[in-house]
Structure 1
Amino acid sequence: MRACHVRDGAAVSRFLAWLDKEVAADKLYDEALLADKLESFRLVDKQYVEPSFDTISAAGSNAAMCHYNHMNGTPAQLTMNSLYLVDSGAQYFDGTTDVTRTIAIGEVTDEHRTMVTLVLKGHIALDTARFPKGTTGQQLDAFARMHLWQHGFDYDHGTGHGVGHFLSVHEGPQRIGKNANGVALQPGMVLSNEPGYYKADGFGIRIENLVEVRRCDALKDAEREMFEFTPMTLIPIDLRLLDKSLMTQAEISWLNSYHTRVFRAISPLLSGDELDWLTKATQAI
């Protein structure tokens, strides 16, 4: 399953590189065209079958609706100096992907950067959590929300759902959320890590990676069997949307390490302008 995440990471990165180039040329498209364009980059993969769910392609205030679908009305067009949220996934013969990225369209505000950074801090907190055997996703949910809570914010959806191999992409029994769930996380389980923030009539933010539960071998002297997560998704996180002053050194190190891993995995599949874009998108901060 990991191999499909490498190819999917390259496909989505090609889309993001194309999008940045088009925005720089003042070419702003509507949500439907953007969703179709994203799929076109996946279609070149011979192991690609279909989207794993309807793509959420949300411009501006539409992203404030966390389950927005541009096919239910007239697709909105991107506007400069705003955010674009795209939540998409693919079914490949060798696995399933699901990823959300929030993208800067032109110049963004300090509020945008603050809220994206708080969401990322929650994403990192959950990604780096270590927990004993028997822990459930409900017990871990607060890791993803704590930085938002400390500033008076929250989000009204689960933090993570189970993902199988070419199944329905949103499946149990494992999940991460506020609601009661007594299923303990076990090595080999795959879940999403997707905290967000949604300002009504304003903008929406979500950062989603798929992660795998694995045994924590680093804690060799632990009294109990310990588990941790490892990211499977390999796609850059938009550096233009971050306020470094709000991040700890550990969080900065996580981001730089993640981007190093992304670059090493997918750079062999890119070339030319796309590789130049990836180099810049994964640079250390």
Structure 2
Amino acid sequence: MILLRPFVIFITFILSYIPILQFIGLALLFFIYHVLIRNRNFHIKKMKEVYSSNNLDFPNIKEKSPLIWLFVYIASFLIINIFYLYLSQQISSLSFEELENFVLPNWQIYLFLGSFIMSWISYATIINRIDKDQWQLQESEITHKIVKNRFIKLRDGNVAMFLRIITLDIYQWFLLFFLLRETTIHYFEDGTATGRYTQLIKTQKVEKTDQNSQEKFENKEEETLQQKLIEKIKNTEENERYSIIFSELTSLEDKQKAKEVLDELYEKNYIKREQYEKLLEFL
């Protein structure tokens, strides 16, 4: 998990609007989206382990990484920007009369519209997977008392894209700032950022280990009792054998264990059917 401080957004914003450093700004911008997606994937993966170990119902969240949508967004974003630069240069070289008769070829129009639609779809999907998925998980964590507070606010990717357009992309920077801030605080609260979430998993594993150890101890104790009885009765006469078994089994406080030992002795033909039934009455 990579935790970025929100001031990285401010630096990226400045670099993105300086012509010479725009490429660095764009690279940082896409890196921030990559980090948000990566943290989202890590968060969901680790919380799923917690839910699984505690037999809790995990929310209906798509586990598949939305990273492919980031690549689609980057590709469509670059196509739009290259097309914009190409169109700007072409228009700037035309005279006023030529500009009046200027018409874009159909393939360029389709390319621009297709890239715009893909950028909208991919961006909306990215925001939904980063924000909506983790908001849904946050609500589930609150229900199961893993966390107490709500930090991640619910947003819609399509609305975010629309606000980007009408604010000339200013909204994007505010959105990134709050997404980084809200998710980071939430990761600290549920322990994903610090590793504290493993305590819930370890507790479950310790309980299972203790339970298995107890079962092994009880089984071993039962086998030891059975072996002792067999050693005592294997060279004795039938009447004496019955008395020894009766004395040993009726003295046990755990009648269920005594019955299990009796069943084993009967199966191994150390006692007859009549003796077995009589002993059962006392147990």
More helix by share: 2
Fold agreement, TM-score > 0.5: no
Q: Which TM bucket (shorter chain)?
A: under 0.3
- The structure whose RCO (Cα within 8 Å, separation 6+) is larger is 1
More strand by share: 1
